[in-house]
Copies of this chain bind each other. A is one copy, B any other.
Amino acid sequence: MPRRAPVPSQHLFVSPSGEALSRWLEAFPRAVLAKPKELRKGSESVKNAALVWLHLDQSLPCVDQLVAIKKKIGTTRVIVLASIPDNEDALALFSAGARGYCNAHATAANLKQVASAVQAGGLWIGEALMQRLVVATHGALSRKTLRQVPEKTPQSFSEKLHLLTARENEVAKTLANGASNKEIARMLGITDRTVKAHVSAIFQKLGARDRLHLALIINGHSPT
């Protein structure tokens, strides 16, 4: 019976500095770190890697970085970590074969979720981008197709969170990511008239004058 190679199980973090953010190690204490140029095809760190996390160097084209890494690691799956996530970049990276794309400052718990999904054979895409992909491709090729998920709920909004009902909260967050009323309606399985009713109630409770203002409040950009 032929002996089997050990199953790769490590997380290999490749970053411009060769150093890790604390939450990466919190999520994966035995992670291996490297700079891009340090990687060698066939090296132990590459062979033992179940997942490779590529922290983008902001001064270089993102897809080039992915392509360069892939040449060294072969078919191992890559999850891209962006310090400043961008939908355009994400799309380009997925087209080029990345299996995940998330914020470099994501929590340890979130990183684990991402790893789990990708190792299960899935892709990890931010919900905002996902909705964009689905809606854009599904013939609803309207201009108004996008949501984005803020990394953290800004404090001013979180302080006001208790003013909203659960449904209002759901609508508010979705709206603040850029969704239109029709899109919110489809996502929540209700009519856009219902969404409008919630939106109006939210405006009143949070003192917003329109949806743009609401988004600024929720994302922490409005002096309220």
- Chain A interface residues (CB < 8 Å from chain B): 58, 61-62, 66-67, 70-71, 75, 82, 84-92, 94-97, 102-103, 106, 110, 113, 116-117, 120-130, 132-146, 148-153, 155-156, 170, 177-178, 180, 186-189, 203, 207, 209-213, 215-216, 219-224
Contact = CB atoms under 8 A, between A and B. Distances in A.
Nearest to A189: B70
Given A95-B186, A134-B95, A156-B84, A219 B222 contact: no
A216 B178 contact: yes
B145 A209 contact: yes
B186 A106 contact: no
Given A140-B136, A156-B84, A129 B215 contact: no
Nearest to A218: B221
A122 B124 contact: yes
Contacts of A94: 130, 134, 138
A223 B178 contact: no
A141 B220 contact: no
A106 B89 CA distance: 33
12 contacts: A61-B152, A66-B189, A71-B189, A84-B156, A84-B222, A86-B223, A96-B186, A126-B223, A128-B223, A128-B224, A143-B209, A148-B222
Contacts of A153: 62, 86, 88-89, 92
Contacts of A120: 113, 116-117
A110 B121 CA distance: 9
B146 A95 contact: no
Nearest to A87: B223
A213 B146 contact: yes
Contact of A149 (B66, B219, B224): B224
Given A84-B156, A88-B153, 17 more contacts: A70-B189, A82-B155, A86-B156, A86-B222, A91-B134, A91-B137, A91-B139, A91-B141, A97-B186, A103-B222, A113-B121, A126-B223, A143-B203, A144-B213, A148-B223, A178-B210, A178-B222
